[in-house]
Amino acid sequence: MVTFGFRLEATDGLARAGTLTTPHGSVPTPCFMAVATCGGLKGVTVQQAEEFGQGVLLGNTYHLALRPGPEVISRLGGLHQFTGWRGPMLTDSGGYQVFSLAQQRTISEEGVRFRNHLDGGLLMLSPEESIRIQRHLGADIIMAFDECPASDAPREIVQAAVDRTARWLARSKVAWMAEDGNPGGHRTQALYGIVQGGLHADLRAQSVADLLTHDLPGHAVGGLAVGEGFDDRNRVLDVTVPLLPADKPRYLMGVGTPLDLVESVARGIDQFDCVLPTRMGRHGIAYTDQGPIRIKRAEYGSDAGPLDPDTRSQASRVSRAYLHHLFKAGEMLGGQLLSIHNLAYYRRLMARMRAAVRAGRFEAFVTTYRATYRDDVKDAKDQVHGD
């Protein structure tokens, strides 16, 4: 049985290129992991995702625990068999919902009690329960349960979240290491811990120090894309990422726009996830090197040109005018095609960054990208983990 591994193969400044190995295949890094919150990409089939080379899919513990339930998925062979996806998968622990469902939950040392959004019933997520659910789901990479505070939370709230996240990590690790007979146990599932600390450099350093007391396969930076600005996010990465070991993969959770990805790779991040490619696609926004195209604008109604001549996908066969028409006519195909395009664009962007790192020209790539990418709408508030 192939187990989890990470090999760092090239660096250029702080940017890195390597290979992530999992029981369901190897993925070159840096990589973008597409969000399939409830087990399915919005508007994109697994066959289409395979065709444009999507590497990793991400599912969510909270949502899949509510329906259809981890035991059901386990009986049906785990998330891979259940969804038909053949490549690597990662599951979030449900920790993000501690932030996003703040009005529907109560935090205690035991864990978080949610009044769920489906029928008002109660769901208790503790570190142990989150790991148990993720064992049943059977993803290749699983996440420790953490507390994610809002970006504008008072310092004392952020401090408490950092301390609790450390205690919950220790419990998550014990649960991960336990032999309980469930399929997909720790020999084939890699556990990542999560760095919290909000916008406070000293709390980020404390959280990293707590994390590094555990010998885990990978590390994640959480608590960003929760309302902070672009510059604040980059400042947090500047002080946090250099504290993480070079020989382990670094995962930035819930980020981001194409420019966010470029800036974060420049700071040493290896893995990303975000709902923007499919969410924005459904709302008529397509990403390109020049910035987002808002296809519903009148200027595209008679535009015979391709959506993006440099990114090949199923959306390449039709004109911007046709895509504009689909949205104006309320046809779901418009959102599907833009979602496919956006995921293909993100994959191509990551491939170009990997090539630039390996060729020793990443700084030039970043300089050019910063100069050409333009966006008149700030997307930070939309960068969330559930789609």
Q: Which of 317, 318, 312 has the alpha carbon at shortest distance from 300?
A: 318
Instruction: Kindly report whether the peptide bond that precedes residue 30 is cis, defined as omega within 30 degrees of 0.
Output: yes
pLDDT, greater one: 384 or 327: 327
Q: What does DSSP say about strands 56-60 and 89-92: parallel, antiparallel, or unpaired? A: parallel
Q: What's the CA gap between 292 and 288, in Å, rounded?
A: 6
Q: What does DSSP say about strands 271-274 and 285-286: parallel, antiparallel, or unpaired? A: unpaired
Chain-centroid distance, C-alpha 220: 10
pLDDT exceeds 60 at position 379? no
Are the C-beta atoms of 271 and 252 separated by less than 8 Å?
A: yes
Model pLDDT for residues 109-146, shown as the tens digit of each residue: 999 999 988 899 999 999 999 999 999 999 999 999 99
Q: What's the CA gap between 333 and 44, in Å, rounded?
A: 10
Within the chain, strands assigned E span 5-12, 15-22, 25-29, 31-35, 56-60, 89-92, 105-107, 112-115, 122-125, 141-143, 190-195, 218-221, 250-252, 271-274, 285-286, 293-294
* Whether residue 310 lies in the annotated active site: no
Helices 201-211, 230-240: axis angle to 10 degrees equals: 40
End-to-end CA distance of the chain: 32
* Assigned token pair, 210: 């707590």
Of these residues, 12, 92, 260, 270, which one is catalytic?
92
Model pLDDT for residues 208-253, shown as the tens digit of each residue: 999 999 999 999 999 999 999 999 999 999 999 999 999 999 999 9
Model pLDDT for residues 305-351, shown as the tens digit of each residue: 999 999 999 999 999 999 999 999 999 999 999 999 999 999 999 99
Of these residues, 270, 273, 308, 379, which one is catalytic?
273
Locus of tokens 């329906």: 67
Strand partners, 17: 10
Global pTM value: 0.95
Arch. (CATH architecture) of 5-278: Alpha-Beta Barrel (3.20)
Model pLDDT for residues 29-67, shown as the tens digit of each residue: 999 999 999 999 999 999 999 999 999 999 999 999 999
Exposure letters 41-51 (e unless 16+ CB within 10 A, then b): bbbbebebbee
Identity at 73, one-letter amino acid code: I
What's the confidence (pLDDT) of residue 384?
42
Max alpha carbon distance in the chain (Å)? 62
Task: List the chain domain ranges.
Answer: 5-278, 282-367
* Whether residue 92 lies in the annotated active site: yes
